[in-house]
Chain A
Amino acid sequence: MQSHIFVALSTYLATPPTHSLAHLNAIDIAVIAIYFGVVIFIGFYLKGKSNTSEEFFMAGREMTAWIAGLSFVSANLGSLELMGWAGSAYQYGILATHWYWIGAIPAMLFLGIIMMPFYYISKVNSVPGYLHLRYGDGARALSAVSFAFMTVLMSGINMYSMALVMKVVLGWNLNFSIWVSSITVALYVGLGGLRSAIYNEVLQFLLIWLGALLVPILGLIDAGGWTNLKAQIGTRLGSEYVHLWSTTGHFSQNPMGIHWTGLVFGLALVISCGYWTTDFLVVQRVLSANNLRSARMAPIIGAAFKMAVPFIVILPGLLALAVLPYHLVGETQAVATGQHSYNEVLPLMLVRYCGPGLLGLGVTALIAGFMSGMAGNVSAFSTVWTYDIYGAFLNKKATDQHYVAMGRWCTFIGVLISVGTAYLVQHAASIMDYVQGLFSFFIAPLFGTVILGMLWKRTTKAGGFWGLLAGTCTAVGLFLWVHFDPSALRYVALSADAKTLAEDMYRALWSWLVCVIVTVVVSYATKPKPLSELEGLVYGVVPLPVEHDDHWYQKPIAWAGVIAVLFVILNIIFW
């Protein structure tokens, strides 16, 4: 029976598509099929180890620092992240690296060193769970509902992005890509819970590296080395495509239309800290660690790997600028003219350098990226729904078994909503831009609310709620202002030369500032919680547990220092 299915699948996938760039042979199909077999096997194998809610939603809090750290990075490495940023590197040059370095590393180290102890020792199961302890039910409900809603929408957009690229490059049917990959994710997460998602994310992370690493290696040989690559890009497009910081003194001097203040304050201080420290999709992985030291080390290990990701994502985009014999265009123009779009740069480079077998491995890496992102989304969705919406407001007294069953059902329902979103986006592509904008509306103010709650005893329940609401409304208001009056860009992003990404940075910065100011003002005007209710939740109320490290290399702070030094050196090298 299985051999019939395999033959049918091989025939279907190996049939030369009418307009695709490449097609896979039997070896490639075998590589992809083995991957699907292994991830489903892991789901069935771990089913017996996810019987209680602690096991299903938090992986029993048994993960080592390495597993939690790799899973932390992998859950973020979805298809939009892989293919989208490779496309951005083609479009904007090396400036896209900022989203991996200053837009991630400081925030990850901050999470590990400063914030993790509060999340971990308060034994919360989710970020909305922390808001519940610190601010009460209002902030929890607002955060949980917006997170659950946005998570499944983003998952659907990721799914559609992957299916679209597979269609263009390999000629795969959209429905086939969407249903096969989503059913697989639903199976292994629904069966094995967070433990299965994490195990597969680690495997997927390794596969992404193995499958994608050959492209930059062969590409650098093809281009004649890094120095020659820079020279070729400089001749074709200008030296601003190969400098990280030196062209960010003015909005009009770089292809991204961005200023260094937007990168440092908007991206690094607000958006990146907001995402990496409060988005439950990634924080859930760290909460599964087996002790406080592992929980603090996990983001630091993740930061080390995150710093290396531009080698397999950004570098292929830069190489494409020099070696591809044709020019890539934006998505709208690609649809109209039949040319290839920026978003297809990574699979196009795979096809350029990889023959049978290696091409299958590369495609497996792209599918693995998509699955890790989607599994992250649906496992976080089922946890937040079960703990922070269903268990908190709809059915408070159910048994543990009931909540586990609810989590399994939510996984399947989350996948179904994601599939629905993917089809919605297919028929109204502009939704994609709005949903991504919508996501940033919640992240920046939420970071303001969480960080003030953790570091300032005086923050009150009313301050947290009104600050969060005011910050979110500011983000929405600024977005609508520029949408209906584009000339407002000069006020929102401080320059008429600013482009979309710069606008996002400044909008996040202003909404965060409004959140912080309103929280502080309202907190001073309202009665604070007694200190006895803040134990384990706020800095300075009770001493944090002392970690007894025998050697310097066991201290998270030492490794955070090493990563920070490397981060500074890399930024100077590519200045």
Chain B
Amino acid sequence: MREEISIWFFGGVLFLIYGVIICLEGLWELNYPLVNPPVLNDLHAPIWWGAMMGVAGLSYTVKFWPKKRRD
């Protein structure tokens, strides 16, 4: 049996998934530029924003991973 899942764990997992998806999308755009890029696209926001989200998400996922309940 494991402890109740913390809300921070849910947040961590969601951020991790989003971070990976958005960062990969940013990296993909380096090789396949967008036809209609948004303003300031040269700053490559998806790469660094996605990476930051991924790191934050990973740290929360690990920190709040549901532990085995001590009986």
Contact = CB atoms under 8 A, between A and B. Distances in A.
A199 B10 contact: yes
B21 A27 contact: yes
A202 interface: yes
Given A38-B14, A222-B40, A353-B45, A202 B22 contact: no
Interface stretch (A354-362, A445-453, A521-529): A354-362
B34 A356 contact: yes
Nearest to B53: A210
B43 A203 contact: no
Interface string B3-26: 011010011011101100110011
A34 B17 CA distance: 9
A221 B18 contact: no
A31 B21 contact: yes
A45 interface: yes
A439 to B, nearest CB: 30
Q: Mostly helix, strand, loop or mixed at chain A's interface? A: helix
A30 interface: yes
Interface string A26-63: 01001100110010001001000100000000000000
A351 B21 CA distance: 19
A357 B22 CA distance: 5
B21 A30 contact: yes
Contacts of A218: 39-40, 43, 45
Contacts of B46: 355-358
Nearest to A67: B7
A222 to B, nearest CB: 6
Interface string B36-59: 011111010110011001000000
Contacts of B26: 357
A474 B54 CA distance: 54
Question: Which among B39, B43, B50 has the highest number of chain A CB atoms within 10 Å?
Answer: B39
A38 B5 CA distance: 13
Contacts of B14: 34-35, 38, 203, 207
13 contacts: A27-B21, A27-B25, A31-B22, A42-B10, A67-B7, A210-B15, A214-B45, A218-B39, A353-B38, A354-B45, A355-B41, A356-B46, A357-B46
Interface of A: 27, 30-31, 34-35, 38, 42, 45, 49, 67, 199, 202-203, 206-207, 210, 214, 218, 221-222, 351-358, 361
Given A30-B21, A199-B10, A357-B26, 14 more contacts: A27-B21, A38-B13, A202-B7, A203-B7, A203-B14, A207-B14, A210-B18, A218-B39, A354-B38, A354-B45, A355-B37, A355-B45, A356-B29, A358-B46
